[in-house]
Structure 1
């Protein structure tokens, strides 16, 4: 980002540009999400856009940072419930809330993330992986039946990455082979089987 927004008006401008980036990618595709089109969608001049962002790649990165921050907030909100419910229910609840976020605003974020392979989304995957590793490791250590397993860190790593990368692949497919509900249920059962205690 070229210029850090300090005033409320500047922060609104940056937010507007990030919103416009999401809308432009969702409506026109990543290849057509140019700075000119993003500025047009935001209703500002290209010069105003360049006061804050040097390139479309910086806009894409800011959008992905926002999406990842919002997904991390979902994990944080759901983490408080982990001690009060069975693990498979927690996993299902978490994935349902993630799905609700992705499908909000007529699937805006879902449409953006369908371009994940062309965006630098791996940084976001890494952040989500670390967050989930912390949450599930703490939970597993509190379960006597699984806490002593020498391979526990490897199991948690495999589970988390199985979920993350399967979801990314699922999102990328126009017509997935399984329903969302079946996928969420299977993930809940898989994590419960491995870490439920």
Structure 2
């Protein structure tokens, strides 16, 4: 766990937020290896000594960045749940993929850079809020579509579809010259979800 000092006052919270923001910008500009606490402090407009009042080292800043990005993702997905659950699996998949794309593209691809350079380094315990909100989405979706409750291996297939889709989106957006556009990718993933569901239903009824 990071040794981050918990900011109690508004000014301290603003300083921590500025350091996290600066860390993201440094990763975008210098890469993970090229990012240092001094560069982060310079980007945040503070002295490196001030940074060390809140973070012991660069890894602690990275831990705070992981937590920040995860909270941002939850903030994107959670408000969408009431509308997503009313849609078909195919349409809900499209909507979720476009929302995730828009999130990654924020601030001149700031979060996409994080995902490509640091996403695979994110410790599992930081991802718990994301897993929780995705589980909430799955449960509420099943409640609104009870006909799907008889599908086999729902947790497994939901995990594969969601996390596989996220990884595919990140890979596609990271390519300089993708073979097809994002709309085509989204359509393919949405149809894959729908075909998988229809195939399982047909097998159950045969």
Tell me the TM-score range normalised by the shorter chain: 0.7 to 0.9
CA distance in 1, matches of 2:177, 2:55: 35
Segments of structure 1 that go 5 or more residues without pairing to the other structure are: none
Q: CA 1:137–1:175 in structure 2 vs 1: closer, same or farther (change >3 Å)?
A: farther
Q: Pick from 69, 72, 83 the counterpart of residue 70 of structure 1.
A: 72
Aligned partners of 2:166, 2:127: CA distance in 1, in Å?
7
Establish whether residue 85 from structure 1 lines up as the match of residue 107 from structure 2.
no
Which residue is 1:166 aligned to? Answer: 168
Return the offset for 1:138: 3.4
1:153 — aligned with what?
Answer: 155
The answer for the alignment partner of 2:11 in structure 1 is 9
Structure 1 residue 181: deviation in Å? 1.7
Over the aligned positions, Cα root-mean-square deviation in angstroms equals 2.4
Q: CA deviation at 1:143?
A: 2.8
Figure out how many residues of one structure are paired with residues of the other and give that number: 197
Aligned partner of residue 51 in structure 1, secondary structure: coil
| Residue 87 of structure 1, CA deviation | 2.5
Q: Give the corresponding residue for 1:59.
A: 61
Q: Which moved more, 1:103-112 or 1:143-152?
A: 143-152
Among candidates 102, 105, 108, match of residue 107 of structure 2: 105
Match of 2:26 in 1: 24
Structure-2 separation of matches of 1:9 and 1:44: 13
Deviations 1:99-151 (A, max 9, x none): 11211111111122220366326555554344323312432354344211333
Structure 2 portions without partners, runs of 5+: 202-206
Contact 2:84 2:95 in 1 (8 A): no
TM-score by length of 1: 0.86
| Cα separation, 2, equivalents of 1:2 and 1:152 | 38
Deviation at 1:88, TM superposition (A): 1.9
Q: Is the 8 A contact 1:74 1:94 kept in 2?
A: no
